[in-house]
């Protein structure tokens, strides 16, 4: 830091980092994406005739439906292999702003498909496993990264644009309870379990404060509590939004100062580059904060800089995966995520990051980035957009729903980066929220990397000037700005006394740290650990087969009338294929996509098996008019009919949330009329011919249209409120009717469960002076680490396939805790996959830690263990476990 001028340091606060030729430091583009494969979204990655495409995996929401942690990890490994291969030929970077581990709390959210779903445990397991796969650190040098991942969007981000409420101005009102048991767990798992290299703060505010300018969230939680070993990055232009949209500061210098001071290391944009110097010179922030940010952004890279500079190679940072919780099916980005469950999202995210980064040491293969931190799941819903949306999130929901996937990304996946989101959480932009960035990502989770984005000034009006926005975001803990805001305003923030240059030092240090871990400064890349990877390692048959297997495992069969499925490929002489998605190409790839190895439409796949006849039925997905006669004619003549309907990115996507939960336009009419006309049963599954026995389970809840009519997408509370009639969100708390529930999914076979071994009572040996020894308590505070370890127990189940077909069974274990502290009605404890031949059985073991698995979060965000009856259940099997004080 001593050899860099203030102006040079500032150039390292933005995603398009500058070069310092006198020190041999090349320029670097931080922004790359790897949500479900190497993507062309983000300027850090390019496809060419050398590498024309990359393996495209299913959207995270489908992958999460497999409930297969090893699969989440394997996908991350393949993605980081291809990312490193592209990096070695100058087509990609090493820092990837993925996964998205936001909780998918509302199916109207346009980005729910990017996430692992609505459950904090699933989201946590997804996030940390994907991060570990991406970063792939090894035992010999665990701080080295294959690539640097980034868990995003921290936190309570799940509104993009809904009925005039957008993510840039939305203030997520979140209780302490919801924050800690819903929104925070995926991020906590990302940092602690995934050891993610980065966390991205979101656009929204949380309880009145922009996440990217909240020192409690950034410096306090991410760095302080979770001990992030990496950098904190803003969602693109989040610091700019903090100032211009959220009006959080009066000047851009102030915005630069508060974000850097809060813990931001990197600005996705140019805002920090423009205003940070003024913030330092204006006394708004100390230069040491900038030093920290620069160091965070470079800890992923060690002596490779000069070689990379000499040959002009591109970046190594990929802003994937998206691990936001898919809390509402109206969210336009739900398909990017692993779903609504925090555990599934956590496992998906950390496994994905581990596969991407593939760090056998401190070296990263590429740098992943979990996004969008946090409580981000509204893009553009009824005028509410992600730039202004303020996610009101309780502390309880934050901790048990929204944060777990990001925590897992950092802690389990060791992700290189976290991307903060556009939205605010409880009034504070995520990218200016020092509590979310510094305290949580770096403090609690110990992120070893940086955090990104900048939207604070322009949309949220969180600051009065861009300098203020730069200052508050850096001060909050932001390391990297996805945009130009910090580059434009940070110098003015320094000059105006809004920011001390030491804060810039911190941010730049965080960013450089990530580059060191990636081996960016280690000389000729061909001589390094992953230097032999090249075009031959992209789109390999093995990689494409893994993508196909992922799709198989994630397919969820929700309805199957007797004898409907599977169909016989030999008996069917003519299959009618009808629907606007039958010939879909890009729709099948999803968003944040790359160029795939090849496009295969559903019609192509079916025609390869049996003779087909095709009719679109609707000319577009919107289906304003329906062409029934041709469709009905071919259905009447065919042996069986397959309808391929649904949505695409014109209906739900980033910046576009759903207004209803129906099939678009006249698609329902098409379905009902074809059902009447066809001779064979209509089928809507890729496994209709029985070559693969479906085992996927829904990672989210699908609500009836009455829910969408009654419940505003902007209500962030997870728990129901009987006084107002609010029914709550997700399977853990929702009290109303559902169309389909979390965990639903059928097989062509049938499986039974039998309890083999489980305790009936756990007695806690508390100290003699403990209050619960003399007073009857309904819950107790978290136990000592020793007592927690002594209280771990195993549950053994016998699982038997009693059906006619071999198949894979997804075993989901839930608990119903005692009714204390508005506890969940049901909570996912763990999940496993078991392959069974017909009439065969196998013992499946679950290890239960009462402190982590059976605990709940109280109204103040504190972890409590409920005393009394905990009902454990798998399918129809139930077992009561009594937790008592000895």
Residues serving a catalytic function are 235
CB 424 within 8 A of CB 171: yes
**Rounded to an integer, what distance in angstroms lies between the CA atom of residue 393 and that of residue 214?**
14
Give kind and range of the element (H or E) at residue 604.
helix 602-607
Strand partners, 190: 411
CA distance 125 to 795: 20
> The tokens of 814 are what?
């839930």
Among candidate residues 117, 68, 133, 64, the one with its CA nearest the CA of residue 832: 68
Phi/psi at 192 (5° precision): -80, -50
Give the chain's length. 886
385, 169 contact by CB (below 8 A): yes
Give the per-residue SS3 of 829-882.
Answer: EEEEEEEECCCCEEEEEEEECHHHHCEEECCCCCEEEECEEEEEEECCEEEEEE
3-state secondary structure 53-105: CECCCCCHHHHHCCCCHHHHHHHHHHHHHHHHHHHHCCCCCCEECCCECEEEE
- The answer to whether the CB of 358 falls within 8 A of the CB of 134 is yes
State phi, psi for 308 to the nearest 5 degrees.
Answer: -65, -35
Helices (H), 457-577: 468-475, 491-495, 512-517, 541-554
Q: ∠460-462-466 over CA atoms, to 5°?
A: 95
Say which residues have a Cβ less than 8 Å from residue 824's Cβ, sequence separation at least 6: 400, 732, 733, 816, 817, 856
* Contact criterion met (CB below 8 Å) for 426 and 747: no
Residues 6+ apart with CB under 8 A from 470: 239, 243, 252, 253, 254, 255, 256, 257, 258, 259, 260, 267, 271, 272, 274, 275, 276, 278, 279, 485, 486, 489, 490, 492, 493, 498, 499
Burial of 636 (0-12, 13-18, 19+ CB in 10 A): middle
239: number of Cβ within 10 Å: 66
**Alpha helices, DSSP H, located in 612-704:** 628-637, 667-677
- Torsion (CA) 517, 522, 524, 526 in degrees, nearest 10: -40
Distance, CA of 856 to CA of 180 (rounded, Å): 10
Label residue 446 left, alpha or beta by phi (over 0 means left) and psi (-120 to 50 means alpha): left
Q: Measured between alpha carbons, how far is 171 from 375 in angstroms, rounded to an integer? A: 10
DSSP class of residue 236 equals: T
Strand, coil or helix: what is 553? helix
Per DSSP, helices labelled H in 645-784 are 667-677, 705-710, 730-733
* CA nearest neighbour of 476 among 525, 517, 425: 425
Whole-angstrom Cα Rg for the chain: 25
The string over 153-192, giving b where at least 16 C-beta atoms fall within 10 Å of a residue's C-beta and e elsewhere, is: bbbbbbbbbbbebbbbbbbbbbbbbbbbbbbbbbbbbbbb
Give the separation between CA 230 and CA 450, rounded to whole angstroms.
Answer: 5
Interhelix angle 69-88/342-357, nearest 10 degrees: 30
């Amino acid at each position: 830091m001593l050899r860099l001028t203030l102006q040079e340091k500032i150039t390292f606060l933005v995603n398009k980092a500058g070069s310092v030729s006198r020190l041999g430091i090349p320029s670097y583009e931080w922004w790359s994406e790897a949500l479900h494969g190497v993507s062309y979204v983000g300027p850090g990655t390019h496809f060419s005739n050398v590498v024309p495409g990359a393996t495209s995996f299913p959207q995270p929401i489908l992958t999460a439906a497999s409930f297969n942690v090893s699969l989440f990890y394997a996908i991350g490994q393949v993605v980081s292999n291809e990312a490193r291969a592209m990096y070695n030929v100058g087509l990609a970077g090493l820092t990837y702003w993925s996964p998205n581990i936001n909780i998918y709390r509302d199916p109207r959210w346009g980005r729910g498909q990017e996430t692992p779903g609505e459950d904090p445990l699933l989201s946590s397991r997804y996030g940390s496993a994907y991060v570990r796969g991406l970063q792939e650190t090894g035992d010999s040098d665990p701080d080295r990264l294959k690539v640097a991942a980034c868990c995003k969007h921290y936190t309570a981000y799940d509104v993009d644009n809904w009925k005039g409420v957008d993510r840039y101005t939305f203030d997520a009102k979140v209780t302490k309870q919801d924050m800690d048991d819903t929104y925070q767990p995926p991020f906590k798992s990302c940092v602690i379990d995934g050891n993610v290299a980065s966390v991205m703060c979101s656009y929204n505010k949380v309880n009145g404060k922009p996440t990217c300018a909240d020192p409690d969230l950034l410096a306090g939680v991410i760095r302080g509590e979770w001990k992030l070993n990496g950098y904190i990055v803003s969602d693109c232009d989040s610091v700019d939004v903090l100032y211009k949209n959220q009006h959080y500061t009066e000047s851009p210098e102030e915005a630069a100062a508060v974000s850097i001071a809060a813990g931001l290391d990197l600005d996705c944009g140019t805002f920090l580059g423009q205003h940070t110097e003024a913030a330092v010179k204006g006394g708004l922030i100390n230069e040491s904060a900038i030093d920290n940010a620069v160091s965070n952004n470079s800890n992923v890279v060690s002596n490779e800089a000069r070689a990379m500079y000499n040959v002009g190679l591109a970046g190594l940072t990929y802003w994937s995966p998206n691990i936001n919780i898919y809390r509402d099916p109206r969210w336009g980005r739900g398909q990017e995520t692993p779903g609504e469950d925090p555990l599934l999202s956590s496992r998906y995210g950390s496994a994905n990051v581990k596969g991407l980064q593939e760090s056998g040491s401190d070296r990263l293969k590429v740098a992943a980035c979990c996004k969008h931190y946090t409580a981000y799941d509204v893009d553009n819903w009824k005028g509410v957009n992600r730039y202004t949306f303020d996610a009101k999130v309780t502390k309880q929901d934050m901790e048990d729903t929204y944060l777990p996937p990001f925590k897992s990304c950092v802690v389990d996946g060791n992700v290189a980066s976290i991307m903060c989101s556009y939205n605010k959480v409880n009034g504070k932009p995520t990218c200016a929220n020092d509590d979310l960035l510094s305290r949580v990502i770096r403090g609690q989770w110990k992120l070893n990397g940086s955090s990104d984005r900048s939207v604070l000034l322009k949309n949220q009006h969180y600051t009065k000037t861009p300098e203020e926005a730069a200052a508050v975001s850096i001060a909050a803990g932001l390391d990297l700005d996805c945009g130009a805001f910090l580059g434009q305003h940070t110098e003015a923030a320094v000059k105006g006394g809004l920011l001390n240059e030491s804060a810039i030092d911190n941010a730049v240090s965080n960013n450089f740290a990530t580059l060191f871990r990636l081996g960016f400064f280690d000389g000729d890349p061909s001589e390094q650990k992953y230097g032999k990877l090249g075009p031959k390692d992209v789109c390999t048959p093995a990689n494409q087969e893994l993508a196909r297997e992922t799709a198989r495992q994630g397919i969820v069969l929700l309805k199957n009338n007797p004898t409907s499925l599977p169909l016989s490929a030999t008996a069917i002489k003519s299959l009618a294929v009808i629907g606007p998605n039958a010939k879909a190409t890009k729709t099948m790839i999803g968003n944040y996509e790359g160029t795939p190895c090849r496009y295969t439409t559903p019609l192509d796949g079916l025609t390869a098996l049996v003779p087909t006849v095709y009719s679109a039925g609707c000319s577009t997905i919107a289906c304003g008019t329906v062409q029934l006669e041709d469709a009905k004619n071919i259905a009447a003549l065919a042996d069986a009919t397959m309808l391929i309907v649904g949505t695409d990115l014109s209906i739900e996507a980033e910046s576009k949330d759903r207004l209803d939960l129906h099939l678009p336009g006249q698609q329902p009419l098409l379905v009902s009329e074809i059902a009447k006309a066809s001779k064979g049963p209509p089928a809507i599954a890729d496994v209709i011919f029985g070559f693969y026995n479906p085992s996927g389970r829904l990672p989210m809840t699908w609500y009836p249209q009455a829910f969408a009519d009654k419940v505003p997408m902007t209500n962030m509370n997870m728990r129901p409120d009987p006084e107002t009639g609010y029914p709550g969100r997700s399977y853990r708390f929702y009290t109303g009717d559902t169309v389909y529930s979390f965990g639903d999914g059928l097989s062509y076979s049938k499986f039974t469960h039998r309890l083999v071994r489980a305790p009936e009572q756990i007695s806690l040996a508390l100290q003699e002076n403990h209050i619960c020894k003399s007073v009857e308590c309904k819950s107790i505070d978290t136990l000592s680490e020793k007592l927690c370890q002594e209280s771990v127990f195993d549950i053994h189940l016998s699982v038997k396939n009693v059906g006619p077909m071999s198949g894979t069974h997804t075993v989901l274990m839930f608990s119903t805790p005692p009714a204390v502290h508005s506890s969940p009605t049901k909570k996912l404890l763990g999940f496993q996959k078991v392959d069974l031949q017909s009439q065969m059985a196998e013992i499946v073991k679950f290890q239960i830690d009462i402190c982590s698995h059976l605990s709940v979060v109280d109204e103040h965000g504190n972890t409590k263990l409920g005393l009394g009856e905990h009902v454990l259940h798998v399918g129809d099997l139930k077992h009561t476990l009594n937790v008592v004080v000895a």
